[in-house]
Homo-oligomer: A and B are copies of this chain.
Amino acid sequence: MLVVKKFGGSSVADAQRVMNVARIVTDTYKEGNDVVVVVSAQGDTTDDLIEKALEINPRGGKREMDMLLSAGEQISISLLAMAISSLGYPVISLLGWQAGFQTNSTYGAARIKRVDPERIRAELDKRRIVVVAGFQGINKYDDITTLGRGGSDTSAVAIAASMHADVCQIYTDVEGVYTADPRKIPSAIKLTEITYDEMLEMATSGAQVLNNRSVEMAKKYGVELEVLSSLKRAPGTKVKEVTNVEKMLIKGVAKDDSVARVSIIGLPDSPGIAFKIFSRIAKAHICVDNILQSVGRDGTKDIAFTVPASNGDEAVQALKEYCEAKGVKALECDTNVAKVSIVGAGMETHEGVAADMFGALSDAGINIQMISSSEIRVSVLVEKKDADRAVEAVHRHFLGD
Contacts and interface: CB of A to CB of B under 8 A. Distances in A.
Contacts of A78: 53, 60, 64-65, 67-68, 71
A71 B75 contact: yes
Interface string A13-56: 00100110000000000000000000000000000010011011
Contact of A68 (B52, B74, B86): B74
Contacts of A92: 63
A237 interface: no
B52 A15 contact: yes
Given A64-B78, A71-B75, A56 B18 contact: yes
A52 B79 contact: yes
Copies of this chain present: 2
A255 to B, nearest CB: 38
Interface of A: prevailing SS: helix
Nearest to A84: B57
A73 to B, nearest CB: 9
Nearest to A131: B64
Given A98-B142, A142-B98, A53 B68 contact: no
Contacts of A182: none
24 contacts: A15-B52, A52-B79, A53-B78, A53-B79, A53-B82, A56-B79, A56-B82, A60-B82, A60-B86, A61-B85, A63-B92, A65-B82, A67-B74, A67-B95, A68-B74, A68-B78, A68-B79, A70-B74, A71-B72, A71-B78, A74-B74, A95-B144, A98-B142, A98-B143
A306 interface: no
Contacts of A68: 74-75, 78-79, 82
Contacts of A72: 71
A147 to B, nearest CB: 17
A93 interface: yes
A81 interface: yes
Interface in A247-280: none
